[in-house]
Structure formats: structure tokens, C-alpha cells
Amino acid sequence: MLNILQKRLALSEKGAKDFLKGTAFTTVLNIALMLSAVYVFLFLEDYLGSVLGISESAERELGFYLVIGVLFMSVTWVVARFQYRSTFTAIYDESAGRRISLAEKLRKLPLAFFGEKNLSDLTSTIMSDNTELEHTFSHAVPQLFASIISICLIGTGMFIFNWKLALALFWVVPFATAIIVVSKKWQRKGNRIIYDKKRNVTEQIQEGLETIQEIKSYGNESKYLGELDHKLDDYEKNLTRVELLTGVLVNSSMSLLKLGLASVIIVGANMLMAGSVDLFSYLIFLIIGSRVYEPIEQVFANLAALYYLDVRIERMNEMESLPIQKGKTEFTPEYFDIVFDKVSFSYEKGKQVMKDVSFVAKQGEITALVGPSGGGKSTSAKLSARFWDVDSGTILLGGQNISDIEPETLLKYYSVVFQDVILFNTSIMDNIRIGKRDASDQEVLRVAKLAQCDEFALKLPDGYQTIIGENGETLSGGERQRISIARALLKDAPIVLLDEATASLDVESETRVQAGLSELVRNKTVLIIAHRMRTVANADKIVVLADGKVIEYGTPSQLVTQQGVFAKMLARQMSVSN
């Protein structure tokens, strides 16, 4: 049962248990709410019987009814308290746990997943979809199951009491239910369309925010807004159509239910005249019949809500089922040589970007990856840190296959400086401290000085405590790059990956930053990617990559002597600089 609920409703094991508990208390609450009808019936039976001379006067029993009334109210209040805690409070806890679980899942997924997914898509899954699940699970789904159980229990009791009147009351239920069940496929299809249309709008807005500079630069505001308006209109049109369809179906079912009460009045009156039912039995069916349809109507409304959730539940289950990168968490290599052995890799099936790549990056040496754009340089660097998993071949670190090592454990040994720097909306000091969370201010300032951050940080109003905006929007590209280099210096890991680390710097700044980089790479395994030949001039080994293959490999002097691709690249840049 728990496994079925976990899969069908995208719940954790604790969430499934809380769901069952909530359903049980909601069922008890539904039955407790029927006590008022029983109370009224008992009261009318005594007092109306007294008036009609059927029973003795009930005036002496007024205190009894007051006690019973208070007792019924107390029972209902206690059950309602437990019901609230086991549904609303428990569901909110489950929702919080689901968000954390998704975040943990995303943290363990390979970067290939994020390359295939839009940022707005992931944001909507974590925030919007979870909010929808939270609201519906707290207000509808436990009530749905509880209502079904309550109807079965109450219906069974009423059939035992008087099956003819019960049949007159419940004959409409199968027909009303059929309307909702038969339309299930249409509702799910419509909800899927709405979900996709809404996602299209979100992605269009996200794209506009990310590319606002390009949109304005090329005068595409009208085109962009026109496309956004079209997607919004399309979403609104489909939303109106689907909600109208759902509303018509649900309200049609509820209207059909009302015929049951009319049937009870007609059938009961005939039975009363024929003497086959007494007045009080007739009254109790009228009283309960006026209330028994409420849980049935809840079932219809909540079924429609559950159909609406199906797309989001499928999305959650899809996220949870994604394969994560696993491996051992204990890894202490004795040396830090990186070996590529016939490595092949593709971002998408049928589009291979690396083919049988083999080379060695030794500890204590600088290994430079050069070659034309799209040759596989950045991909090689990222594969070496297991940002992706290779299709075939092996990558060894210290003689061990990195595919057998848990990514977070592996990355403890890497300092990374990529061309695309990611900064956070906090101070310069805190952005550098990401490299080593427990670093002292003195340690941070030391590496900041090595990375030439003093040059701009000390000119800011609050110095290193200045808040730099989202992704460092208040800084230049070169300043952001220096913060990234300072991070890597602070981490001081035995392996260093430098991907165009000084690309955003002018020649003068690059010269000064190289001093800091020299400190960073000393006695370490270094993979450096650069298009400027002066950046790789001091490299111990050069790996020339083109079309995903190693076409040259050796020391700078060896490759110059060969007069191959590296020699031509070097000559071309020398001639341009002259």
C-alpha cells in the first residue's frame, strides 16, 4: 500500500504514512459531522412523538439533549484538531521535504542533465509544481479518499436500515460518477496542454530576462513582446477551455445528484402512505439525504483536482527516477596524475565530440590543451573532474577510475577557474571564501592580493565587504575573473583546471595575475586551456585537440620542430602581435 501511494502520489515513505493517517482522521471527521443529523433525529423523535402522543413528554430529558449536544460538539472538535494536524501540517512538512529532496537530487545529477533542461523548467518544478501539490494534497486528496470511505460506510448503514429508501437516495451516484470517470482522459489531456503552454510562457519570460541586452541592442523588443503576447493568449485560451470543460462536467454531476433527494421524497411519501415506513425513518432519510451528497460532491471536485495534479506528479516521479552519479566516498590518492585512456564522449546520441582521446597530465607539470574552437578542450577539462561521465574509455586519477568515485568526494581535489564565472549576490569577501568556507579574513585577503583583486576592491565604498549584485553585475568581466582565481588560490587543491582563466584581462593585468597563477599551480597537476600562445608558453606538455581527437602531443619545443598545427598557431599569433 505504501509503495503504491508513494509512486502514485509522489510521496516519501513518511509522507505516505501521514497521508493514510490524514485520510483516516478525515473519514472520522466526515462521520462525526453526521452526528448533528443523528442529534436532530433523536430530538425530533422524542419531542415530535410527545406532541403527537406517540411517546411521553420529553421535557424532563432536555438536560440529556444538552449533554449529548456538548458531547457531539466536543468529539467533532477533537477529531477536527487531529485531522488538521495529520493533513495540513503533515502535508506542509512533506512539501518542505520534497523541495529539499529535489534540491539534493539536482545536486547529484550529472551536468549533462542541466545542459538539456531550461532553467525556468527546473525552477517551475521545484517551486510552482510543489506549491500546486502542497495546496491540493492539503485541501483535496485526503478528503477525496476519506469521502469515498465515508460514503461507503454511511451508504452501507442506510441500506441496512431501509434498502428501498437508500436505493432511492443513491441510484444517481453511479451515473454522476460515470460523467467524471469517462471524462478522465479529456481532463488529463487538457491539463497536459495547459501545463505545457504555461511552461512556454515561463521560458519566454526567462529568455527575455537573460537576453534583454541583445533584444534591445538589435531592436527586437516588438518581436519579443509579440511572441510573448501570442504565447500568453494561447495559454489563456486553453486554460479557459479546459477549466470550462471541467466546470461543466463537475457541476453536471453535482446537479444530477440532486435528483436523488427528489427520489427519496417521492418514494418515501408513497411508502409512508402505504404504511411500509414510519414517519421518523422517513425524516431521518430526508435529513441525512440533505447531507450525504456533500462528501460525494467533494469526491467529484477532488477527482478533478487529482487529474489536474497528474502532470505534476508524473514530473516529480520523473525527476526522482533520474540516474545519479554514484561512487565511493573514501578516496585518498597517493599521487595526482590524470590519465585519459581512449576516451569517447557525446553530449547527445549520434553527436560525438571526443573520439579515443588519450594523454597524460602529470603531477608537477602544466599540461596545456590547445586547438581550434569546438575541438574538445573544455570538454576534456570537465570530463577530468567528472562533470560528465564518459561514453567509453577511462579517466584515471592517481591510478583509479574517476567513474568509481562520488563526484563531491572527487572535486575536493580540484580547483577550477572557468571562463564563465559564477558569482553570488553577496560581498567580495564571501564570494572568495566559497573556495574554503572556514578561511580566516587574513587568508582571504592574502589570495585576493595575489589575484590582483586589491586593484578594484579597495576602490569600492565598502572595500571587500561591498555587495556585488547578482552574478557580480556591478563588476567588469576582468574583475569577476580575478575573484574566481582568488577562490581557486584559497582552495589550494592538488589539481588545477584553468579554462581561459585570463581571457577577460588586458595584457597588463594578465601579466600581474600570472604571478598569482604561478603560486596556484606550483607542484600541482595543471590542465590549462588557452587560445593565447603566451599563456601556454611555459607549459610542460601540449595536447592539440581538433574534431574531438588528439592530433599532436608533446613538449612545446617538440611540437614547434614538427611544424604541425601547434607551430602554425604559434606562428600566426606571433605575426599578428608583430
Terminal-residue alpha carbon distance, the chain? 77
Same domain, 297 and 397: no
444: in domain: no
Among 59-68, 196-205, 357-366, 512-521, top mean pLDDT goes to 357-366
**Is residue 57 over pLDDT 60?**
no
Last residue of a domain, one of 280, 301, 320: 320
565/369 Cα distance (integer angstroms): 13
- pLDDT tier at 142, thresholds 50, 70, 90: confident
353: in domain: yes
Largest interatomic CA distance in the chain: 123
- Which pLDDT tens digit goes with each residue over 72-109? 788 888 888 888 887 788 878 888 888 888 888 887 77
Same domain, 291 and 341: no
pLDDT of residue 58: 47
pLDDT of residue 413: 93
385: in domain: yes
Same domain, 267 and 301: yes
Q: Which domain holds residue 233?
A: 2-320
Question: What is the distance of C-alpha 499 from the center of its chain?
Answer: 30
482/259 Cα distance (integer angstroms): 76
Mean of pLDDT values over 307-327: 79
**Is residue 54 over pLDDT 50?**
no
C-alpha cell read off for 471? 552574478
Same domain, 134 and 223: yes
**Is residue 316 over pLDDT 50?**
yes
Of 42-51, 140-149, 280-289, 482-491, the least confident: 42-51
* CB atoms closer than 10 angstroms to residue 522: 10
Q: Taking the CA of residue 150 as centre, how many other CA atoms within 13 Å lie in the half-sphere pointing to its CB?
A: 29
pLDDT of residue 344: 93
C-alpha cell read off for 40? 436532530
Mean of per-residue pLDDT scores for the chain: 81
**Is residue 217 over pLDDT 80?**
yes
pLDDT of residue 396: 94
| % of the chain surpassing 70 pLDDT | 87
C-alpha cell read off for 172? 444517481
Number of domains in the chain: 2
Give the 3-state DSSP-derived string for 471-533, with helices as H, strands as E and coil as C. HHCCCCHHHHHHHHHHHHHHHCCCEEEEECCCCCCCHHHHHHHHHHHHHHHCCCEEEEECCCC
296: in domain: yes
**Is residue 337 over pLDDT 50?**
yes
Residue 33: what are its φ and ψ, rounded to 5°?
-65, -20
C-alpha cell read off for 184? 478522465
Last residue of a domain, one of 273, 297, 320: 320
125/315 Cα distance (integer angstroms): 8
C-alpha cell read off for 61? 430529558
**Is residue 561 over pLDDT 90?**
no
Query: Locate cell 602531443: which residue?
Result: 553
Mean of pLDDT values over 496-517: 71
Same domain, 357 and 232: no
- Which pLDDT tens digit goes with each residue over 35-45? 666 666 666 66
Same domain, 239 and 358: no
pLDDT of residue 394: 95
* Burial (CB count <10 Å: 0-12, 13-18, 19+), residue 371: buried
pLDDT of residue 131: 77
565: in domain: yes
Contact present, 449 and 482 (Cβ < 8 Å): no
Query: What is the rounded radius of gyration, in angstroms, for the C-alpha atoms of the chain?
Result: 35
Same domain, 271 and 353: no
- Which pLDDT tens digit goes with each residue over 202-216? 888 888 887 888 888
372: in domain: yes
E strands of 380-438, at which residues? Answer: 392-397, 400-401, 414-417
Mean of pLDDT values over 432-438: 90
Same domain, 77 and 210: yes
* CB atoms closer than 10 angstroms to residue 261: 18
Higher pLDDT among residues 449 and 134, named by residue: 449
DSSP 8-state class, residue 75: H
Same domain, 188 and 288: yes
Query: Locate cell 565587504: which residue?
Result: 465
568/576 Cα distance (integer angstroms): 12
Last residue of a domain, one of 320, 342, 372: 320
**Is residue 494 over pLDDT 90?**
yes
- pLDDT tier at 50, thresholds 50, 70, 90: low
Contact present, 42 and 34 (Cβ < 8 Å): no
290/496 Cα distance (integer angstroms): 75
Listed in sequence order, the residues at least 6 apart from 129 whose beta carbon sits closer than 8 Å to its beta carbon are 312, 315, 316
pLDDT of residue 302: 72
In CATH, what number is assigned to the domain containing residue 362?
Answer: 3.40.50.300
In CATH, what number is assigned to the domain containing residue 147?
Answer: 1.20.1560.10
Q: Which residues of 310-322 are buried (b: 16+ CB within 10 A; e: fewer)?
A: bbbbebbeebeee
The CA–CA distances, whole Å, from 313 to 119, 178, 542 equal: 19, 24, 51
18: in domain: yes
Higher pLDDT among residues 127 and 479, named by residue: 479
pLDDT of residue 60: 45
Dihedral Cα 320, 323, 328, 332, nearest 10 deg: -110
Q: Which residues of 200-232 are buried (b: 16+ CB within 10 A; e: fewer)?
A: bbbbbebbeeeeeeebeeeeeeeebeeebeebb
Same domain, 350 and 259: no
> Which amino acid is residue 233, in one-letter code?
D
pLDDT of residue 39: 67
Mean of pLDDT values over 355-368: 91
8: in domain: yes
Same domain, 316 and 329: no
Same domain, 303 and 361: no
